[in-house]
């Protein structure tokens, strides 16, 4: 029985060890972006927009079509005329039972009221807008991963600080008990320290819960199971203080915000779509040839 228990303990220990994964910040960003469902959807939208550009451009090429038809008539006798001069009827025409028809058509658009050029420009603007949206989604996903990574770091450090406080309070409690035995402090003084110790213990429970939540959110951003055990590796942090002007930051934000550029591209695409809708006022010219 002892051997069985010992074996089970080893198995569970090995399993727990293998489930713990350690990530650096760069590894976290790379894995999270690779597994992001948001980016997969955004990439699919980008592929659709690119295919739409190809579809619009293909309308400028000549259209070649081939039609074939076959018709079978019911069995009818040939067209004959009977006269009194000849003993046999005179056959005017043989019955045509099978009919075949082949047609090859070539159609080349020459002018469609600027519709094709407008649609082509609109598709290009939509593609550029989708590319900007894709870049924006990458930045947002990376920001989520970085935030989740540093939330674990903050929770772990907060937990370490609380552990140090608990050790310090334990030492104070022991000293206070000695002082109480020697009548150097009152019982109320000892109770105050013990209450403070209990408060810090409750705070430790809150921080440990926050750490578990931070790890679950971190796993979610990476595409792992929420309950997977993870650890993070961080380099030594250095504090860099930058003094920037608010107006300069505002101007930089407006010029670098990808969503603003994306909206401007979609506005231009809408104008081109409006121009394409007005093409019906112009005549359409095609070059058509049938063979």
* Arithmetic mean of pLDDT, 40-67: 90
Which residues, in sequence order, are bridge partners of residue 99? 71
pLDDT digits (tens, 9 = 90+) for 108-155: 888 787 888 888 999 999 999 999 999 999 999 999 999 999 999 999
Question: How far is CA 196 from its chain centroid?
Answer: 48
236: tokens are 């030594």
* 24-235+243-290 fold: Outer membrane efflux proteins (OEP) (1.20.1600)
* Arithmetic mean of pLDDT, 148-170: 94
Look at residue 275 in the predicted model and tell me its pLDDT. Answer: 87
* Arithmetic mean of pLDDT, 239-267: 82
With contact defined as beta carbons under 8 Å apart, do 12 and 199 qualify? no
* Arithmetic mean of pLDDT, 95-111: 82
DSSP string spanning 247-263? HHHHHHHHHH-HHHHHH
CA distance linking residue 129 with residue 134, whole number of Å: 9
| Residue 84 DSSP SS3 | coil
Look at residue 2 in the predicted model and tell me its pLDDT. Answer: 44
Highest mean pLDDT among 151-165, 234-248, 269-283: 151-165
**Nearest alpha carbon to residue 145 among 20, 24, 262:** 24
Look at residue 11 in the predicted model and tell me its pLDDT. Answer: 41
Q: How many CB atoms lie within 10 A of CB 150?
A: 16
Residue 227 pLDDT > 50, yes or no?
Answer: yes
* Arithmetic mean of pLDDT, 200-226: 94
DSSP string spanning 181-235? HTTSS-HHHHHHHHHHHHHHHHHHHHHHHHHHHHHHHHHHHHTS-TT--EEE--P
Residue 33 pLDDT > 80, yes or no?
Answer: yes
Q: Would you place residue 287 in the very low, low, confident or very high pLDDT band (cuts 50, 70, 90)?
A: confident
Residue 218 pLDDT > 50, yes or no?
Answer: yes
Dihedral sign (CA 197, 199, 203, 204): positive
> Which stretch of 66-70, 220-224, 235-239, 283-287 has the lowest confidence by average pLDDT?
235-239
257: tokens are 């915000």
Look at residue 7 in the predicted model and tell me its pLDDT. Answer: 45
Rounded to two decimals, what is the model's pTM? 0.74
Domain ranges of the chain: 24-235+243-290
What Rg, from alpha-carbon coordinates, does the chain have?
Answer: 40
Residue 160 pLDDT > 50, yes or no?
Answer: yes
């Amino acid at each position: 029985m002892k051997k069985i228990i010992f074996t089970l303990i080893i198995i569970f220990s090995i399993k727990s060890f293998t489930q713990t994964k350690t990530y650096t910040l760069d590894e976290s960003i790379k894995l999270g972006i690779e597994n992001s469902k948001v980016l997969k959807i955004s990439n699919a939208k980008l592929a659709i927009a690119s295919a739409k550009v190809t579809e619009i451009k293909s309308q400028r090429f000549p259209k070649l079509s081939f039609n074939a038809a076959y018709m079978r008539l019911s069995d009818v006798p040939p067209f004959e005329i009977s006269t009194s001069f000849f003993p046999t009827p005179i056959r005017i025409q043989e019955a045509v039972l099978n009919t075949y028809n082949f047609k090859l058509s070539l159609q080349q658009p020459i002018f469609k009221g600027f519709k094709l050029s407008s649609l082509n420009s609109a598709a290009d603007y939509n593609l550029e807008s989708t590319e900007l949206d894709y870049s924006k989604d990458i930045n947002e996903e990376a920001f989520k991963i970085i935030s989740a990574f540093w939330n674990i770091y903050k929770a772990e450090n907060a937990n370490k600080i609380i552990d140090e406080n608990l050790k310090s309070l334990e030492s104070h409690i022991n000293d206070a008990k000695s002082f109480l035995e020697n009548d150097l402090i009152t019982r109320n003084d000892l109770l105050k320290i013990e209450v403070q110790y209990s408060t810090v213990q409750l705070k430790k429970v809150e921080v440990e819960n926050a750490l578990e939540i931070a790890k679950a959110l971190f796993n979610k951003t990476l595409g792992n199971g929420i309950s997977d055990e993870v650890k993070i590796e961080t380099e030594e942090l250095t504090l860099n203080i930058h003094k920037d002007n608010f107006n300069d930051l505002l101007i930089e934000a407006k010029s670098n915000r990808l969503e603003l550029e994306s909206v401007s591209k979609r506005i231009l695409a809408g104008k081109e779509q409006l121009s394409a809708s007005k093409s019906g006022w112009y005549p359409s010219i095609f070059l058509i040839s049938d063979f």
